[in-house]
Structure 1
Amino acid sequence: MSVSPHHPGAAAPHQLDDLYAGPPPWDIGRPQPAFQALADAGGVYGRVLDVGCGTGEHALMAARLGLDATGIDLAPRALEFAAKKAEERGLTARFLRHDARLLAGLGETFDVILASLVFHGFRGQDREAFVESLCAAVKPGGRCFLLCFRDEPLPASGSALRVAPQEIRTAFADGWRIDTIDAATVDSTLPVHAEGIRGWRAALSRI
């Protein structure tokens, strides 16, 4: 399974756009269950930023709750699909082409940031820049939720990107409180992953 985390570290911009020539496996036409459960429990509120939004399902989930929702991605084609979904569903959400490592450039802060299948794609300085970027974009006391692949081999996959809980703890050691790192399921459209892919959902608070 080849899964892109929707950011420039994974591919060149034109390659990111090419990923959306047809529906990619992570584009399941609805929010990931781990984030939908979060929204159902009242964990998504205020101004919401969907980082690496792809075709916008999590921003649209927030918009459906009547929240101020923004999605960012570097793939223009994905953003076009997201805007079209919003129009078809009668929802109001903003979609911007922007680098997830440069969120300070938005000049805005958010109450909740959602990052589905993004964190595990960054390594080294890119990961540090991404975490600093999240710090700049979330309000003090705000929340950030990550959905990542669990640190174990994936069935019928090659060099899949995976994350150990300690990597999350290390990356967010400064300026954050790590509230929970829970087992989660990542849904995919690929038949080989019909029962879902084992992952982590991390809940972080900005301090």
Structure 2
Amino acid sequence: MVSLKRRFRDAYRKSPPWDVGTVQPAFVEVASQIRGDLLDAGCGTGENAIYFAQRGCNVTGLDFIEVALDQAKAKSLQRKVPNVIWMSGNALELTNSAWRFDSIIDCGLYHSFDPKPRETYVAGLRQVARDGCLLVLLCFSEREPLGQGPHRISEEMLRKDFADGWEIEAIAPVRFAVREDLPEGYFSPGGPHAWRLLARRIRHAEA
């Protein structure tokens, strides 16, 4: 976990490939379904969180990289977006959280974890999701050649990880927006191949 935090911290000291200065297009395509109290897990510099706050959501942006949160706070002040709060914290500790949300977005956090911490993270998402909460998650897919960036995730892995407590509504192939000034061949032309997961929190009736 320390090495993961160091990698993110080092990335934000420069300009991370995923920090494109605007909301991810794959989120915009399903924006009408995202509402209410919203958690942006791994919010980075805040573009996605601010976009949904401007659409009327009450947003909590969570990240453990202070330099990214500082940029997010500055953006929300500059753009006069009051309905977003920025929280410093570890997404692997959501299993102990009293927070509850109507919607959750994840732009590239899930695919950063190795398998065991990924299980802990998914359990934390279950914990903070209200009944009917919609999770919208973007992750690199196995169609993206190995090399730069995070773990590649298969559709089967998504279905396995979100089999308990979630109803999967859609898993769609999309592109992950990245900076246009990256060296040629850094990722696939047009942006890394990715999945967009839409999953609805459900609780099984007690016997």
Per the normalisation by structure 1, the TM-score is 0.88
- Determine the structure 1 residue equivalent to 2:205: none
Three-state SS of the structure 1 residue aligned to 2:30 is helix
Alpha-carbon spacing, 1:181–1:9, altered in 2? closer, same or farther (3 Å): farther
CA root-mean-square deviation: 1.8
Cα shift at 1:17: 2.1
User: Aligned residues: percent identity?
Assistant: 33
Q: Distance in 1 between matches of 2:126 and 2:69?
A: 24
Residue 202 of structure 1, aligned match among 183, 193, 197: 197
Residue 8 of structure 2, aligned match among 16, 19, 43: 16
Residue 33 of structure 2, aligned match among 38, 43, 56: 43
Moved over 6 A (4+): none
Residue 155 of structure 2, aligned match among 149, 165, 185: 165
Alpha-carbon spacing, 1:182–1:52, altered in 2? closer, same or farther (3 Å): same
Three-state SS of the structure 2 residue aligned to 1:146 is strand
- Mapping for residues 104-183 of structure 1, pairs under 5 Å: 104-154=95-145, 157-158=147-148, 160-183=150-173
Q: Distance in 2 between matches of 1:127 and 1:137?
A: 16
Q: Distance in 2 between matches of 1:18 and 1:140?
A: 37
Letter in 2 for 1:48: L
1:100 equivalent to 2:91? Answer yes
Query: Does the CA-based 8 Å contact 1:154-1:160 persist in structure 2?
Result: no
Q: Where does the alignment leave 5 or more consecutive residues of structure 1 unmatched?
A: 1-7
Cα shift at 1:176: 0.8
Q: Where does the alignment leave 5 or more consecutive residues of structure 2 unmatched?
A: 203-207
Letter in 1 for 2:85: R
Per the normalisation by structure 2, the TM-score is 0.88
Query: Does the CA-based 8 Å contact 2:38-2:57 persist in structure 1?
Result: yes
Q: Distance in 2 between matches of 1:202 and 1:70?
A: 20
Alpha-carbon spacing, 1:115–1:158, altered in 2? closer, same or farther (3 Å): closer
Alpha-carbon spacing, 1:123–1:28, altered in 2? closer, same or farther (3 Å): same
Cα shift at 1:58: 1.2
- Determine the structure 2 residue equivalent to 1:64: 54
Three-state SS of the structure 2 residue aligned to 1:59 is helix
Q: Distance in 2 between matches of 1:180 and 1:9?
A: 33
